[in-house]
Amino acid sequence: MRIVFAGTPEFAVHHLQALLDDGRHEIIAVYTQPDRPAGRGKKLTPSPVKALAQAHDLPVYQPVSLKDTEQQKILSALNADIMVVVAYGLLLPKAILETPQLGCINVHASLLPRWRGAAPIQRSIEAGDSETGVTIMQMDVGLDTGDMLLKARCPITEQDTGGTLHDTLVSIGPPALLKTLLELEEGTAVAEKQDNDLSNYAPKISKEEGLVDWSQPAETIARKVRAFNPFPVTYTTLEREEGGENKDERVRIWQAKSATGCTAMSPGSICETNNEGIRVNTGKGGLLITELQLPGKKRLPVAELLKSRAELFTPGTVLGQQTMGQKDIGQ
């Protein structure tokens, strides 16, 4: 088939690469978001998908929007059989969805209809889901509401982070996409409607969400630590004295797990510090922090960090600014 591919981040790269390696179909064009400023120099940088497309001499289109009629005419002139969309980041209007002969299909990183939206990988871990997967969906004008063509499942382990789960889904998504394309080509694909009553919205992750609310249960915080690793990474604040003044420093928490609390102390209080980690009291139970990152420093196992900065984490020290407890996502 003649395929237009639309995607932007690393997750999409693996699916485009799979199509290229498969060789069964012709990639006639690649759509990706415009180059964005990146790095300390804020230099305009192409998306990972653009870099791969250019390496294979594929035509690249980077419209700011697809709502413009001129852009719609350009896509129509490509005469595509189907458009494959993987984490593209732009809304596709009805005119675009109806342009290819077989419409547009989307590779979505969750078992629909469980998590619709921009951050299904992180939200599934944060909510404590036991499994997730990839859904290949026939796109419609709604947000991830189209009929499901194929699902590929995988468990979520207690060790999974946002990063490791991303990598797992990257391994199962491309084969699912290739199988779906074959079924569509042969006319054997079976579409299944979604049950809207089972859906949840997975909003984009903000850096501000990474702030730990120590009044929450330890298990809730531990799930957030895993979900937000490697981005945006959970953090707390640590007050220390410098030049006769007290300063709040942001400390990033890379790895942690639930543990026994210390009920006599307020949430955020350090109960105990040893080579196993820093045990902090929470609203329910304790959180054992095993990997930390101080401002301007490398992330380190707590056992290593304590060799030089043990004085920052003495028992009784209170971490963070307390915020109002929020309802757990997905509950």
Domain edges within the chain: 2-202, 207-313
Output the pLDDT for position 310: 94
Distance (Å, rounded) from C-alpha 219 to C-alpha 221?
Answer: 5
What share of the chain in percent tops pLDDT 70?
95
Residue 230 has pLDDT above 80, yes or no: yes
Output the pLDDT for position 38: 87
Confidence of residue 54 (pLDDT cuts 50, 70, 90): very high
- Nearest one of 154, 144, 128, 131 to 331, comparing CA atoms: 128
- Nearest one of 315, 153, 173, 299 to 225, comparing CA atoms: 299
Residue 248 has pLDDT above 90, yes or no: no
Residue 59 has pLDDT above 50, yes or no: yes
**Assessment of whether the complete model's pTM goes beyond 0.85:** yes
Output the pLDDT for position 241: 64
Output the pLDDT for position 41: 85
- Nearest one of 49, 71, 53, 22 to 185, comparing CA atoms: 22
Output the pLDDT for position 242: 62
Task: For the domain covering 207-313, report its CATH number.
Answer: 3.10.25.10
Output the pLDDT for position 239: 82
Residue 182, C-beta contacts closer than 8 angstroms, at least 6 positions apart: 24
Alpha helices, H only, the chain: 10-22, 48-55, 69-77, 94-97, 120-126, 162-186, 218-227, 302-309
Distance (Å, rounded) from C-alpha 108 to C-alpha 85?
Answer: 9
| Phi, psi at 300, each rounded to 5° | -140, 150
Q: What is the topology classification, in CATH, of domain 2-202?
A: Rossmann fold (3.40.50)
Mean pLDDT of 259-278: 93
Confidence of residue 208 (pLDDT cuts 50, 70, 90): very high
- Distances in Å between the Cα of 234 and the Cα atoms of 2, 75, 206, 251 are 43, 41, 11, 9
Residue 48 has pLDDT above 50, yes or no: yes
Residue 327 has pLDDT above 80, yes or no: no
